[in-house]
Structures are given as structure tokens and as C-alpha cells.
Amino acid sequence: MPEPAPRPAVRARVFCLPYAGGSSLAYRSWPDLGPGVEAVALDYPGRMMRPDEPLVDSVPGLVAALTDELAPFWDTPFVLCGSSLGSLVAFELARAAERAGHRPEAVVLCACAAPGRLPRRAPVTDLPDAEFLAAVTERYDGAIGELSDDPQALELVLPGLRADIRAFERYAARTDPPGTIAADVIAFAGQQDRSTRFGEVAAWRARTTGDFQVRSVPGGHFFVARQPDQVAGEIRARLGRAHPVAAS
């Protein structure tokens, strides 16, 4: 039998952060990002591949938990990509990486208003289950409300969703400015996203001293999972320009 073709050496990694209530499965339908580009879909503590860890209900706590895991890989070119809550985590991870002397190739922020433009709605995390699910479903137009008809699934998902929404609400309530990053930022807004407006996404411009681009793409709040081609294509093209594959 012929020998299998060797896998190309890793020339870049894309670390993917999920939205509230989501997991690494949000990125399972992503297309290939190019030879030698490794997509690393992450889970927050207490989810999927990290079930034995306690849940974390703040962005700083999520960043602290993930930094220990990711820091050993920051010596290889990398991109941070987040969706909704994951965008806030990706941004703060970029700040942590830059403080350690490792600037990301780019930070890709999807379906999330910039700090200072995050909506300060009445907190919902302490509402009874049915009211909490109704509020989250109305806000983000997702399928999470269907869990009310599936007690087993609800028992599994609800604690993590509450922790994530609480983390988002706490970050949105901050009055201190979060600072800036030097990495380039590409921000994406869903054209059918009822929870996040294009101008709120474009306001990420003030959070980077690097190059900034904003894109309007088809889809609702969860376009990063349901219609990922434009986001993935942008990352692939950018890494292809920055780190072209050497001719054999």
C-alpha cells in the first residue's frame, strides 16, 4: 500500500471561541482554512471536553482559564476568532497575549458590539427558567427556547448558558474602558442579527491601533456556525497572504 501523504507542518492556528451557551461544536462545519492551518475550537470550563471543571461566569475568569491552555502555542502565528460572548473573550485573550509579547496575526470578532456600545439591558440570569429562556430566545432569535420542551437537554445546557449570559452582562456593565490591542481586527455583523447593529460592531475600530475592517454578512446572530464561509474565507485569505505555502 502507498504511504499516506504526510500532514503539512502547522504554520498557523486559529483559536475559535463560542457564543453564550455554545461549545466547540459551533465550528464543526467550518471549511478547511488552508494547508498547515489548524483550527482549534475551544470549550469553556464545564462544557463538552471540560465537563469536570467548574463553570466560570465572568470574562476575566474565562480568559484566565484559557490563557494557561493557549499560551504555550503563542509562539506559532495565530488568529483569535470569537462569536458574541466569544468575541469579548477573544479580544481580552489578545490583550493577554500581547502583554506576554505575542501579537495575534488578527483578531476576528463576530456578532458582537464593541465595548462601550454593548447593550445594557436588565439582567436576566436570575429569572426563573422559563422566563430566562424566553428572554434569551427573544434577544438572540435562537433555538434555545425549544429546550423548555426537553427537560434532559435543559438540565445539561441551562447552567452553562446562565454562566455565559452572566459573564456577558457583567462585561457590558463595566464603566472602565478596556484598552486597545495592536493586532489587526476584522469585525463581522450579521445582516439579519436583531441583537447587534452594524454601527455597534463597527465601533470596534476604537479598540485597535492596528488595521481595522468591518464586514456585513448574511445571517442572524449565529452566522459563524450556520453560514461560516465568509468568515472562514477571510481568515484563509489573510493567512495565505501572510504565510504562503512554500513551493515543493
Task: Point out the residues that are catalytic.
Answer: 84, 221
**Calculated CA dihedral for residues 119, 121, 125, 129, nearest 10 degrees:** -120
- In angstroms, rounded to a whole number, what is the distance separating the alpha carbons of residues 164 and 22? 9
